[in-house]
Amino acid sequence: MNIQVQKYFDRASGTYLEEAVIQEEAARQCAEKIPRTRYHSVLEIGAGGGFLTRHCLSRIQAGIYAAMDISGHMLRLVPRDRLSPVLGNGEIPPFKDASLDLLVSSSVMQWYVGGADSMARNLNLLSRGGFFSLSLFVAGTFRQMHHASCLSGFGAVYPLPRVKECLAALSLAGLEYESRVKSYTRYFDSVQSFLKSHKGTGAGYTGRRPAFGKQRFREFCSRYLEIYGLDGKIPVDYRVLYIWGEKK
């Protein structure tokens, strides 16, 4: 995971809980796939904010619950009872293969530099019979913003993984799983209010140097509203891939 991602989330730690509406819903649905039972060892990758942590701890019992995040500021938002906070990068977790009974992650693995291959490697941490439940944003998220950006030359959108790539990597890893893609749409009063909210979630990293400028920004807002505006509001689409299963 790129170190720049950490910096964006560090800066958003004071606004994340309020702005991350879709992330909270993704965490809730991710947790609902987990069987209600006791797990000896649990790892949550990208626990910062605590949405998934709280949903998981309301469903399961855990001998050891390791809550890991690359952002120390975000990690401070995680409830400290019944878990062990771990500061670290999800692509190089400090755990041995076949050492976990449960692996969970929500709204994180789309940031992996190694993409779907890194996600599949994470699942090597599971012991036989271990369960996993993941959710991540995939291509199609922010499609309106991407279109308006291409037309105006303003900004950039991070290249999110494709569903086929993610599922192919898990299939090659020999895992038994189910999957579902769900789309969400949020409506904002203006393009400016959306961009402020987007920044507040920490998800502003684009992977490349975006183009700015007042004229480009005005064109971006104008194109977004002209093409997608509805009754004075603008829509923002999100696509979330849910994957859950067991290591046989």
pLDDT of 173 higher than 80: no
In the chain, domain spans: 3-141+159-184+238-246
Mean pLDDT confidence for 17-46? 97
Total residues found in the chain within this entry: 248
Q: Is 177 left (phi over 0), alpha (psi -120 to 50) or beta?
A: beta
pLDDT tens track for 50-105: 999 999 999 999 999 999 999 999 999 998 888 999 999 999 999 999 999 999 99
9, two tokens: 């989330």
Range of lowest pLDDT (38-52, 55-69, 106-120, 169-183): 169-183
pLDDT of 209 higher than 80: no
Q: What is the pLDDT of residue 155?
A: 85
Mean pLDDT confidence for 34-47? 97
Superfamily name and number for 3-141+159-184+238-246: Vaccinia Virus protein VP39 (3.40.50.150)
pLDDT above 90 as % of the chain: 85
pLDDT tens track for 214-245: 999 999 999 999 999 999 899 999 999 999 99
Range of lowest pLDDT (33-37, 69-73, 142-146, 154-158): 154-158
At residue 35 the predicted structure's pLDDT band, cuts being 50, 70 and 90, is very high
Question: Mean pLDDT in the chain?
Answer: 94
As a whole number of angstroms, the distance between CA 29 and CA 4 comes to: 28
pLDDT above 70 as % of the chain: 99
Q: What is the pLDDT of residue 210?
A: 66
Q: What is the pLDDT of residue 60?
A: 96
Closest CA relative to residue 200, chosen from 9, 71, 70: 9
Mean pLDDT confidence for 102-128? 95
Q: What is the pTM of this model?
A: 0.94
